[in-house]
């Protein structure tokens, strides 16, 4: 492992050289200060990942790190960019999901302005800026600041994060919470939102996250870190819809810690837009009898690189996990899927299933799919599978033989391929919205 | 309606049709019989435009137009319908949406506006009844988990919905029990008119007891070796295809 970043990465220099001055004078607990310092040291030693790191083998960041970025220091500094504090942030019309009855909040570069659209929040749903929560002993204990190992991005986030959204759920929340992540900048910017969700015992919530950005000349690197704690018997439906515009590079790390008999469902949909999307979704099944469903659909186009890394870490017995990720790769895009299932020795009676299917439509598109299973218990049911294919010629001919044109037939087949995932979305208007997004990108160009 | 002249075709370099001549007029039902491997299904595939079948000689004129020049979807829009021997299962595409899309594209080709939702529904109900197609299957994914008989009935339902002028039924009777066969045949008989035509490809005479053809042609080794009326089918059934082989071999000597 290199002791210091070998290639000259301007952002690395800026972070390392500016760290002390950036952190000085910030009032925070000694504990957090120590955690930040430790995370910073780890980041400094490891640097940004390169393709020599197994986890980044197929995702080369060089192209995205060649540019210079300003490090967004805190909410007020972001304000200086003209976003926060500006009375009316012009959201793209697409930010609202047609027909979705939800509590909607907008985070501009990770900072919430305190506004909730869609009625006052019910008693069981508490939202707070992370900047405030850090000062509150009731919450500060939840932040997991020392456990990121050598993962560069979570360490970097820990070292420098200042804000994000804290969400605490107590009770069953009838309407979904829709979090709009909106990214905007006037010059190249690194933003590092940090979110924490605590879903208390027996609570139930549906959270929809969408990502939007302003298209423009500038580049934004978003290094997001979200921790989700799902307490015993709690149920969480978590929908993520990623699109944004070219120029945005999203690196998301989400760690979900599931307690006894909890249920967590994740649905991640990625569409053309952002040049780079890397999702690290890690499920820590810390207690027994949990249930987890991970559904993903990535429809990629242009020169886009979309990388989904998932980890399901079965630590305790009698847990069930099921994962289905599907990819449709258009134009010159690249997809990466890495799904790891780790079954500890203690985790007897584990049921863990994983499936990744890919439809590579353009001859210039690429997919790297890598399932990984590591099992140390002997009484388990685990399976994984990965497929890469093109259009089913028989199906295509069948549709054409009924008068359906080739492009339309392909569109139908793509929708059908995605159906296994889209049908899993339990909120009907969301399913319709997602199908609408899929249909925006097809009929397709084979080149 | 359809004129096939000296049609030769090959698959992967292998000659499978060796000079077929056939004329089908409006209102006619033609049966094409023949042993396995004689080229029956290949003829259907060539007419529908399946990839991989290369026409090396001859021509096919459909209602005055060169059929072989057309993409498969254009043939369908012009009015050619192939009922598949093995209908494809397409999970995730609902039967009804598939038909709605197909009908809309065919109508657009003919410069007709798409049907209103209500009109479409009405048409669908009417045709379901006509061909005794289970309403529950209409909303399911296309052929997914359908029994063999249900798939074939779905083909006939699609035929009823799209109202082609020329329907080619490729071994629609294969894999059908007697009840399903009767229902499918009844559907076809109801759809017969003076304006449309059918080519019925079958291995057995059985189907022809229900759908009575005007003409019977026997295909052997890529050529039509015998044509006649429905009595020819009975003769074939009685004497078997070996009779034909012997006749053909004698001719060749």
How many Å apart are CA A305 and CA A331, to the nearest integer?
11
Least confident of A102-116, A157-171, B233-247: B233-247
Say if residue A13's pLDDT is above 80.
yes
CA distance B75 to chain A (A): 7
Q: What is the pLDDT of residue A445?
A: 45
State which of A97-106, A311-320, A424-433, B206-215 shows the largest mean pLDDT: A311-320
Say if residue A89's pLDDT is above 60.
no
Q: What is the pLDDT of residue A73?
A: 66
- The residue of chain A nearest to residue B46, with distances taken between CA atoms, is A401
Q: What are phi and psi of A97, to 5 degrees?
A: -95, 120
CA distance A413 to chain B (A): 7
Which of A234, A74, A250, A77 is closest to A167 using CA atoms? A234
B210 touches chain A (CB under 8 A): no
Determine, for residues B98 and A399 on separate chains, whether the beta-carbon distance falls below 8 Å: yes
- The residue of chain B nearest to residue A392, with distances taken between CA atoms, is B90
Determine, for residues B90 and A409 on separate chains, whether the beta-carbon distance falls below 8 Å: no
Task: Provide, as residue numbers in chain B, all residues whose Cβ is less than 8 Å from the Cβ of A442.
Answer: none
Question: Looking at residues A206-220, what average pLDDT do you find?
Answer: 89
Q: Which residue's structure tokens are 């990942």?
A: A49
Q: Which of B51, B91, B106 sits opposite A403 (nearest CB)?
A: B106
Least confident of A32-41, A435-444, B118-127: A435-444
3-state secondary structure of A154: helix
> In 10 A of CB B11, how many CB atoms?
15
Say if residue A82's pLDDT is above 60.
no
Roughly how many angstroms between the first and final C-alpha of chain A, as a whole number? 40
Residue-wise pLDDT for B26-52, tens only, equals: 999 999 999 888 999 999 999 999 999
Determine, for residues A415 and B102 on separate chains, whether the beta-carbon distance falls below 8 Å: no
Q: What are phi and psi of A249, to 5 degrees?
A: -120, 115
Say if residue B200's pLDDT is above 70.
yes
Residue pair A155/A148 in contact (Cβ under 8 Å)? The answer is yes
Which of A174, A172, A232 is closest to A201 using CA atoms? A232
Q: Which of B75, B87, B90 sits opposite A416 (nearest CB)?
A: B90
Say if residue A215's pLDDT is above 80.
no
| pTM of the entire predicted model | 0.86
Q: Which residues of B137-165 are buried (b: 16+ CB within 10 A; e: fewer)?
A: bbebbbbbebeebbbbbbbbbbbbbbbbb
Q: What is the pLDDT of residue A186?
A: 87
Q: Which residues of A386-395 are buried (b: 16+ CB within 10 A; e: fewer)?
A: bebeebbeeb
Q: What is the pLDDT of residue A443?
A: 63
Say if residue A432's pLDDT is above 80.
yes
How many Å apart are CA B38 and CA A262, to the nearest integer?
63
Question: Looking at residues A354-373, what average pLDDT do you find?
Answer: 95
Q: Can you say how many angstroms the Cα of residue A236 is from the centroid of all Cα atoms in its chain?
A: 15
The ipTM, to two decimals, is 0.95
Task: Provide, as residue numbers in chain A, all residues whose Cβ is less than 8 Å from the Cβ of B73.
Answer: 400-406, 409
Q: How confident is the model at residue A84 (pLDDT cuts 50, 70, 90)?
A: very low
Q: B202: exposed, middle or buried (C-beta count within 10 Å: 0-12, 13-18, 19+)? A: buried
Say if residue B199's pLDDT is above 60.
yes
Q: What is the pLDDT of residue A91?
A: 65
The count of CB pairs under 8 A between chains A and B is 80
Residue-wise pLDDT for B65-116, tens only, equals: 999 999 999 999 999 999 999 999 998 899 999 999 999 999 999 999 999 9
Say if residue A76's pLDDT is above 70.
no
The length of chain A is 447
Say if residue A444's pLDDT is above 60.
no
A55 touches chain B (CB under 8 A): no
Residue pair B168/B202 in contact (Cβ under 8 Å)? The answer is no
HEC assignment per residue over chain B: CEEEEEEEEEECCEEEEEEEEEEECCCCEEEEECCCCCCHHHHHHHHHCCCCEEEEEEEEEECCEEHHHCCHHHHHHHCEEEECCCCCCEEEEEHHHHHHHHHHHHHHHCCCCCCCHHHHHHHHHHHHHHCCCCHHHHCCEECCCCCHHHHHHHHHHHHHHHCCCEEEEECCCCCCCHHHHHHHHHHHHHHCCCCCEEEEEECCCHHHHHCCCCEEEEEECCEEEEEECHHHHHHHHHHHHHHHHHHHHHHHC
CA distance B237 to chain A (A): 32
Q: What is the pLDDT of residue A83?
A: 42
CA distances B188 to A136, A360, B251, Å, are 77, 40, 37
B187 touches chain A (CB under 8 A): no
Q: Which of B75, B92, B158 sits opposite A420 (nearest CB)?
A: B92
Q: What is the pLDDT of residue A93?
A: 63
Greatest Cα pair distance, chain A, in angstroms, is: 72
Q: Which of B73, B92, B99 sits opposite A400 (nearest CB)?
A: B73
Q: Which of B51, B81, B158 sits opposite A393 (nearest CB)?
A: B51
Residue-wise pLDDT for B140-171, tens only, equals: 999 999 998 899 999 999 999 999 999 999 99
Q: Can you say how many angstroms the Cα of residue A317 is from the centroid of all Cα atoms in its chain?
A: 27
Contacts for B111 with CB less than 8 Å, ≥ 6 apart: none
Question: Which of A394, A402, A411, A417 to probe the B interface (max B CBs under 10 A)?
Answer: A402
Say if residue A2's pLDDT is above 50.
no
CA atoms A118, A231, A325, A214: torsion sign: positive
**Among A residues 373-392, those touching chain B with beta carbons less than 8 Å apart:** 392
Pairing of strands A70-71, A189-191: parallel
Determine, for residues A412 and B76 on separate chains, whether the beta-carbon distance falls below 8 Å: no
Say if residue B251's pLDDT is above 70.
no
Residue-wise pLDDT for A28-47, tens only, equals: 888 888 999 999 999 999 99
Roughly how many angstroms between the first and final C-alpha of chain B, as a whole number? 36
Pairing of strands A125-129, A165-169: antiparallel
How many Å apart are CA A13 and CA B207, to the nearest integer?
81
Helix (H) or strand (E) holding A383: strand A381-389
Q: How confident is the model at residue A90 (pLDDT cuts 50, 70, 90)?
A: low
Residue pair A245/A274 in contact (Cβ under 8 Å)? The answer is yes
B82 touches chain A (CB under 8 A): yes
B71 touches chain A (CB under 8 A): yes
Q: What is the pLDDT of residue A87?
A: 34
Q: B33: exposed, middle or buried (C-beta count within 10 Å: 0-12, 13-18, 19+)? A: buried
How many Å apart are CA A193 and CA A191, to the nearest integer?
6
Q: How confident is the model at residue A216 (pLDDT cuts 50, 70, 90)?
A: confident
B98 touches chain A (CB under 8 A): yes
How many Å apart are CA B55 and CA B34, to the nearest integer?
21
B102 touches chain A (CB under 8 A): yes
Residue-wise pLDDT for A120-159, tens only, equals: 999 999 999 999 998 888 887 788 777 888 899 999 999 9
Determine, for residues A402 and B92 on separate chains, whether the beta-carbon distance falls below 8 Å: no
Question: Looking at residues B189-200, what average pLDDT do you find?
Answer: 95
B73 touches chain A (CB under 8 A): yes
Determine, for residues A401 and B76 on separate chains, whether the beta-carbon distance falls below 8 Å: yes
- The residue of chain A nearest to residue B78, with distances taken between CA atoms, is A403
Pairing of strands A276-285, A305-314: parallel
Calculate what percentage of chain A has a pLDDT beyond 70: 92
B220 touches chain A (CB under 8 A): no
Query: What tokens appear for B65 in the block?
Result: 């137009």
A420 touches chain B (CB under 8 A): yes
Q: What is the pLDDT of residue B121?
A: 94
Q: What is the pLDDT of residue A345?
A: 96
Query: What one-character-per-residue DSSP string does A328-344 give?
Result: EE-TT-EEEEEEEEEE-
How many Å apart are CA A151 and CA A53, to the nearest integer?
10
3-state secondary structure of A361: coil
Pairing of strands B90-94, B141-142: antiparallel
Say if residue A75's pLDDT is above 60.
no
- The residue of chain B nearest to residue A407, with distances taken between CA atoms, is B73
Say if residue A108's pLDDT is above 60.
yes
Say if residue A303's pLDDT is above 90.
yes
């Amino acid at each position: 492992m290199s002791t210091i970043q070998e290639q000259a990465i301007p952002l690395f220099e800026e972070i390392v050289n500016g760290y002390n001055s950036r952190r000085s004078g910030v009032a925070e607990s000694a504990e957090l200060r120590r955690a930040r310092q430790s995370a910073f040291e780890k980041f400094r030693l490891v640097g940004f990942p390169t393709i020599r790191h197994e986890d980044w083998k197929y995702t080369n960041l060089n192209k995205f790190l060649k540019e210079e970025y300003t490090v967004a220091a805190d909410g007020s500094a972001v304000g200086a960019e003209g976003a926060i504090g500006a009375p009316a942030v012009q959201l793209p019309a697409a930010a609202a999901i047609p027909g979705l009855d939800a509590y909607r909040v907008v985070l501009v570069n990770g900072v919430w302005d305190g506004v909730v659209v869609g009625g006052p929040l019910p008693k069981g749903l508490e939202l707070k800026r992370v900047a405030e929560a850090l000062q509150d002993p009731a919450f500060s204990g939840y932040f997991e600041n020392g456990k990121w190992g050598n993962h560069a991005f979570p360490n970097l986030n820990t070292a420098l994060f200042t804000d994000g959204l804290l969400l605490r759920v107590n009770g069953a929340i009838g309407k979904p919470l829709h979090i709009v992540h909106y990214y905007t900048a006037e010059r190249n910017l690194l933003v590092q939102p940090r979110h924490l969700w605590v879903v208390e015992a027996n609570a139930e919530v549906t959270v929809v996250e969408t990502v939007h950005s302003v298209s423009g000349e500038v580049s934004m690197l978003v290094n997001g870190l979200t921790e989700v704690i799902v307490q015993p018997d709690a149920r969480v439906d978590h929908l993520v819809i990623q699109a944004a515009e070219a120029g945005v590079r999203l690196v998301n790390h989400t760690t979900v810690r599931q307690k006894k008999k909890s249920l967590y469902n994740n649905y991640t949909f990625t569409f053309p837009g952002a040049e780079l999307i890397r999702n690290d979704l890690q499920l820590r099944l810390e207690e027994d009898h949990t249930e987890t469903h991970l559904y993903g659909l990535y429809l990629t186009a242009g020169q886009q690189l979309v990388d989904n890394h998932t980890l399901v870490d079965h630590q305790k017995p009698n847990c069930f996990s099921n994962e289905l990720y599907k990819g449709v790769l258009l134009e010159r895009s690249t997809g990466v899927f890495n799904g790891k299932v780790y079954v500890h020795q203690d985790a007897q009676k584990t049921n863990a299933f994983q499936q990744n299917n890919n439809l590579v439509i353009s001859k210039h598109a690429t997919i790297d799919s890598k399932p990984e299973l590591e099992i140390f218990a002997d009484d388990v049911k685990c399976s994984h599978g990965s497929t890469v294919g093109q259009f089913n010629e028989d199906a295509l001919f069948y549709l054409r033989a009924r008068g359906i044109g080739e492009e339309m037939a392909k569109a139908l087949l793509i929708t059908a391929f995605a159906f296994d995932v889209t049908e899993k979305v339990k909120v009907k208007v969301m399913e319709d919205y997602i199908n609408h997004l899929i249909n925006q990108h097809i009929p397709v160009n084979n080149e | 309606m359809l004129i096939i002249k000296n049609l030769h075709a090959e698959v992967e370099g292998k000659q499978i049709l060796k000079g077929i001549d056939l004329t089908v007029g409006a209102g006619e039902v033609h049966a094409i019989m023949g042993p396995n491997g004689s080229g029956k299904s290949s003829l259907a595939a060539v007419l529908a435009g399946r990839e991989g079948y290369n026409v090396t000689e001859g021509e096919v004129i459909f209602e005055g137009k060169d059929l072989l020049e057309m993409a498969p979807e254009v043939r369908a829009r012009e009015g050619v319908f192939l009922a598949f021997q093995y209908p494809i299962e397409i999970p995730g595409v609902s039967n009804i949406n598939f038909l709605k899309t197909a009908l809309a594209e065919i109508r657009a080709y003919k410069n007709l506006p798409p049907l209103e939702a209500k009109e479409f529904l009405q048409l669908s109900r009417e045709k379901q009844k006509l061909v005794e197609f289970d309403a529950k299957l209409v909303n399911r994914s296309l052929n997914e988990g359908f029994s063999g008989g249900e798939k074939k009935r779905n083909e006939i339902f699609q035929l009823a919905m799209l109202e082609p002028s020329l329907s080619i039924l490729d071994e629609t009777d294969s894999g059908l029990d007697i009840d399903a066969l009767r229902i499918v045949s009844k559907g076809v008989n109801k759809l017969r008119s003076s304006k449309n035509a059918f080519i019925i490809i079958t291995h057995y005479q059985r189907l022809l007891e229900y759908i009575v053809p005007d003409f019977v042609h026997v295909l052997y080794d890529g050529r039509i070796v015998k044509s006649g009326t429905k009595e020819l089918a009975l003769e074939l059934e009685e004497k078997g295809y070996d009779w034909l082989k012997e006749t053909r071999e004698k001719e060749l000597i």
